[in-house]
Structure 1
Amino acid sequence: MNILFVGLGGAIGAVLRYLISLIPIKTSYPILTLLTNLLGAVFIGFVAGMLSYGKISKNQSLFLKTGVCGGFTTFSTFSLESVQLLEQGKILGACSYMSLSLILCILGVVLGSCLSSFAHRG
């Protein structure tokens, strides 16, 4: 049953990621991957917080964290785009992308956790 929860969540996450990739933004900077990973970080922080407050079950956590977030966020794409920026000689762009991804996504998890705390109280 756990495999079913993860698989269904992963399918939903992958479709959501694809839909974000359709946003018509023309730039060499991988802003849509950064946005996707930031949204995923906030969401996973929220889900983890809700799990810690007992507001969601372990099966719901599997569906949302491992499934939806796993299918939605994309570390491999982040890695590929970072290498491509470096290969294109866009050192500043690559460094800013890697730094922003790391810092913003960690802050996103913290924000999501804080949001779950507010949801838990309210």
Structure 2
Amino acid sequence: MTNAISNFTIYAFVALGGACGASLRFYISQLVLNWLGKGFPFATLMVNIIGSFTMGLLYQLIEHEILNVSVHRTLIGIGFLGAFTTFSTFSLDSLLLLQQGDVLKAAINILLNVSLCIAAAALGMFMVTTLTK
């Protein structure tokens, strides 16, 4: 029974963090769009930068045992930042590869993430455009 409660708590942390992250992303996006307009994806850039910064802080706070890994990683890292932006995880992965001296893997990770995500977005747009003609 303890595992069920523990698992429920973990899922609750992810859900709570996700709801907060998604809501804050929407709020910030609306603010930035109203402020800077739609000419460039500043809103996405802003949340990606904030999310990456927050992921870096969280990682170090957990590494230095200032924050509890099971609670804060689940609530903030997976839930909040997972909904706020997935770019934060990509940034941390790339940075850790660079810090480990694996420049080639970091470069491949960066290239694949950027190019494949753009390609996937283009494919999704193409599919909808094609299906709605």
* Aligned counterpart, 1:105: none
Cα RMSD after superposing both structures: 2.4
Classify 1:32/1:19 alpha carbon distance in 2 versus 1 (closer, same or farther; 3 Å): same
What is the aligned counterpart of 1:10 among 12, 18, 29? Answer: 18
- The structure, 1 or 2, with the larger RCO (C-alpha pairs under 8 Å, 6+ apart) is 1
* Aligned counterpart, 2:59: 48
> Which structure has the larger Rg?
2
* Aligned counterpart, 1:116: none
* Aligned counterpart, 1:68: 80
What TM-score, normalized to structure 1?
0.60
Shift of 1:79: 4.0
Moved over 6 A (4+): none
Distance 1:72 1:56 in 2: 20
Shift of 1:2: 0.7
* Aligned counterpart, 2:130: none
* Aligned counterpart, 2:113: none
Distance 1:31 1:69 in 2: 18
Alignment of 1:1-122 (within 5 A): 1-23=9-31, 24=34, 25-57=36-68, 58-74=70-86, 79=118, 83=122
The amino acid of 1:61's aligned partner reads R
After superposition, give the CA deviation of every residue in 1:5-53 in whole Å (9 maximum; x if it has no partner): 1110000000000001111021321111011011000001100100001
C-alpha contact (below 8 Å) 1:14/1:71 kept by paired residues: yes
* Aligned counterpart, 2:111: none
| Matched positions, count | 83
Any unmatched runs of 5+ in structure 1? Answer: 88-122
Any unmatched runs of 5+ in structure 2? Answer: 1-8, 88-116, 127-133
